[in-house]
Each structure stands twice: as structure tokens, then as C-alpha cells.
Amino acid sequence: MHAPKPLAGKGGKQSRRRGVWRGTTHPPGTHRCHMGNLLKVLTYNELDQGPNFFLDFENAQPTEAETAVWNQVNAVLEEAQTILAELQSYTGAGLEIREAIQNPNDLQLQEKAWNAVCPLVAKLKRFYEFSLRLENALRSLLEALTSPPYAPTQHLEREQALAKQFAEILHFTLSFDELKMTNPAIQNDFSYYRRTISRNRINNLQLDAESEVNNEMANRMSLFYAEATPMLKTLSNATTKFVSENKTLPIEDTTDCLSTMACVCRVMLETPEYRSRFTNTETLLFCMRVMVGVIILYDHVHPVGAFAKTSKIDMKGCIKVLKEQPSNSTEGLLNALRYTTRHLNDDTTSKQIRALLQ
């Protein structure tokens, strides 16, 4: 049986325990967003020594109950840093490919291009395989952060280390996709690789690297890299699949987890008291990326999306807080909202929100 969801409905009793409002009444001070001004509402330090609900993206450590999932996800996140570094330094084999195409009869140049492309394709295969591991990690976190009897808000407060890992997955995802979108060499290298393989298959030449990336794997990689934002697509598919496979779990448990996270990030960004707690300047961008990531996931998973009036995300507030930051750090994030969401152009989206994203 599900515990009553915090901050939902009207009338009825309310109770406060460990800084979490439960019951069926809105505590004082909440407004529009699903959890309203959640962090302010949940700050009880001056009343009693209960923890306030500041999502500690810098220092959250796993409790004993979180350890098993945390360790599994941590192994994936450690690899994520290597993947990002490799993608950042990915220069491609454009020069070798051009020379080979311009001189089709020069076997030496053909071989040179092939030898340049093969290790790059092995790298692209590694990135693709990592997306599958990321999908499994996300699934484990969703299971942990939506399981009964706790409501999503309670999960996020109780399991801050897992909430932080969920945030880190979103941060990695948006970082990876930003790098991928600005690097046309990835598509060019892979296209050349596939053309060369099929040409040599016609000529009955066996290529060593084909065992590295067989035809089935090449097809799956092709679909992955054809996406403008492949990692985000992987996560939204995984979240949608998680919802559809867990028939006994109301979809709201998943979408409320996302909308609550979006609210928490927004309030942390717009409240000087919380922003001043960030000891690392990178945490600000991290917080913005996470907010945008959960909005996009919510928009893909929720039947009416993030932009409708009934959405539990204060989209105006979220866009406004992004626009208040220096444009060099937020333009990519605003573009992600413009081009990778599903419902922005629906009739249910207000003109005001569309105008904000113009």
C-alpha cells in the first residue's frame, strides 16, 4: 500500500516528521510548482534539528540502505568520466577519408584511411555499449527512488546519495550529447566505415575489424548515432520502458520523482541562500543541467508532457532561472529544451512559454 503522497490534495490533517510534510494539505508557503517552494517549506533547522531538504550534490554519502545500488551505479559513473574525456578528444579521420575518396585507386591511401578509422569505430562502439550500462544504472535508481511505501519527495530526501547519482547520470547525458552534436566527425567516420565494409564484402575481401563491429552491432550503432541526442534518447526510452513494465507502480510515482527533482534544482538555483552553499563553481552548471535533464525526461514520459498547464513543473520559473545565467553556459541547455522535448509545440503549451524559448 502506498503511503499518502506529500503536498497533494486539499483539506485534511498534516504532520511533520524529519522535515517532510505528509498528509493531504499544502503546508503554508507552497505555490504553483508541484512541491511549491519545497526547500523553504522543508527548512526546519530553526524549529528543530531535523535536516532541511537541500539536495547536497557535492557531498551526499550513501547510507547503509543505499549502498548496494550506489556501488552498482558508481562503477558506471566512474567509467562515464573516461567516456566524456575520450569524446572530448575525438578528432576524427576527416583528412585521411578525404584523401582516400579523392584518390580511389591509391591503395596506400585507402589503407591509411581504413587504419585511421578502425580504432575510432572501436571507440564509438565502446560509447554505444556504455549507453546500455547507463540504461541499467538508471533503471536501478528509478526502482530505488520510486518504491513503496515512500513518496518521491521522501525518497529524494532520505536517499540523497542516490538522488545525486541520478543527477550525475543526467549531467553526463547532457554533456555527452552536447559534445556529440558539435562533432560531425563521428557520423562521417562511421559512415565511411560502413561504406568500406560493404564495398569490400562485394569484393569478397575480409576485413580484420569486422569482427570488432559486426553487421548487427553496426546497425544498432547506426540508429544510436543517427539521434541528435543519443544518450538522452537512451534515458527517455529506458524511463518509458520502466513505467510500462511496472504496471503496479502508478506512472505518477516516476513523473513525480522527476518533477520534484526539477523543482528542487530550480529553487536551489534561484535562492541565494542555497546557491551560497555550493563550494564548487561547477555545481551551478551541474544543477542547471540536471534541471533540464529531468524536464526532458518528464516531457518524454508524462502523457501530456512538461509544458501543459497541468504539468507539475513550473516551466516559466525554470526557463527564467536559465535565462538569468550567462548565455555561454545556458544556450546549449535552452536548445535542449527547444529541440529535444516532445510536447513543446503541442496546442496545450502556452504562447508565453513558447515566447520565452524563442
How far apart CA 318 and CA 265 sit, in angstroms, is: 9
Residues in the chain: 358
Give the per-residue pLDDT at 207.
55
CA distances from 110 to 1, 114, 194, 293, 339 (A): 65, 6, 14, 42, 38
pLDDT digits (tens, 9 = 90+) for 198-247: 877 655 555 555 556 888 898 999 999 999 889 999 998 998 888 888 87
Cell of 164: 545525486
- Domain positions in the chain are 53-229, 250-357
How far apart CA 259 and CA 313 sit, in angstroms, is: 6
DSSP assignments along 140-206, one per residue: HHHHHHH-TTS-HHHHHHHTHHHHHHHHHHHHHHHHHHHHHHT-THHHHHHHHHHHHHHHHHHTT--
Give the per-residue pLDDT at 24.
32
pLDDT digits (tens, 9 = 90+) for 296-312: 999 988 888 899 888 88
Q: What is the mean pLDDT of residues 238-266?
A: 85
- Residue 292 above 70 pLDDT? yes
Q: What is the mean pLDDT of residues 100-113?
A: 92
Coil, helix or strand at residue 21: strand
The residue that leads in pLDDT, 282 or 4, is 282
pLDDT band of residue 101 (cuts 50, 70, 90) is very high
- Residue 50 above 50 pLDDT? no
How far apart CA 255 and CA 299 sit, in angstroms, is: 9
The amino acid that residue 120 corresponds to is L
CA distances from 29 to 8, 55, 269, 336 (A): 14, 19, 18, 31
Cell of 325: 545565467
Give the per-residue pLDDT at 348.
86
Give the per-residue pLDDT at 301.
85
